Each structure stands twice: as structure tokens, then as C-alpha cells.
Copies of this chain bind each other. A is one copy, B any other.
């Protein structure tokens, strides 16, 4: 049975949808998983609990958006009950300034994932990182580039591959 990867994001800001879709394409491209790409306006707790791995995205609003954090807060005591513990998570963000807090927004998403006991998957260095993405996850600044999409696809594929290995055995 193929694994399922939830790509969950706050849609405020155009580019974030592009990154979410690219991450989903990366999951498909891995050949071992199916993505469920969905915004926080539609997602439920069941979506979160059913997933084998998570890709979580928020626009960079001097940190995660309040709407995304509120949605996460409302899903119950996931940190305490451990439903997501041991599953992999990757993160992504978009913003309008190059170093205007994008890494910190990725770090805030990562922090939430670690607090749920998740295993954190980033993006290793490649020449593409000179102009796109971060060790912490996928990014875009002021509009999506082809490299940004390639990095988001890589992140999606990595999370799917690792989710399959962690779900086995």
C-alpha cells in the first residue's frame, strides 16, 4: 500500500501554493507515496492523523501566520499524546525579503514538528542552494523560480522516501 504524505499549508500569499504543489509533485515523483495537498481552511485533525509524513508550509509573516498557528493549536494535545511521533516532517515558506525571517519561520515550523516528536527532514546542499531553499526547507522570495520548485520537489521526495522507511518494520 502506498504511503500518504499530507502537504498542509496556509494559502495566504500566492507563491506558497506553488511550493505546496511542487512538494506534492515530489511525493508523486518518488514513486512510493501519494500526496494530499490541502490548505488549513479545509484540513481536519483526521487528515493530520492519517498521514505517514507531513509537509508543512506557512508564509513568512515575521514568523508563522497566526491563522496557521491557531489551526495547529486547535488540533488538540498532539505534543502530549504523541500521535505524530516518529513520522517525518519537512517545511516550506515564502516571503518578500531575502533574509527577512524566512529561516526563522522554517525553524518555527520545525519546532512545532519536533514538539510533536516528529523526525525533521531538510534539504542538503546543492548548487541550487546558492539562490534557492535552505537546509531547513523550501523557500521562495518575491516570486517562485524554477529552482525554488525543484527544491520543493526534492523536499517532497525526501519526506516520502524517509516516511516509507520509517513506516516499515
Residues of chain A whose beta carbon lies under 8 Å from any beta carbon of chain B: 61-74, 79-80, 82, 85-86, 88, 96-104, 106-108, 110-112, 114-117, 119-125, 129-136, 139, 141-142, 162, 164-166, 168-169
Contact = CB atoms under 8 A, between A and B. Distances in A.
A63 B125 contact: no
A79 B62 contact: yes
Contact of A124 (B85, B108, B136, B141): B85
A54 B61 CA distance: 20
B130 A142 contact: yes
Nearest to A89: B120
Given A120-B119, A168-B169, A135 B69 contact: no
A14 to B, nearest CB: 16
A66 B72 contact: yes
A130 to B, nearest CB: 5
A70 B70 contact: yes
Contacts of A135: 79, 99-101, 111, 114-115, 117
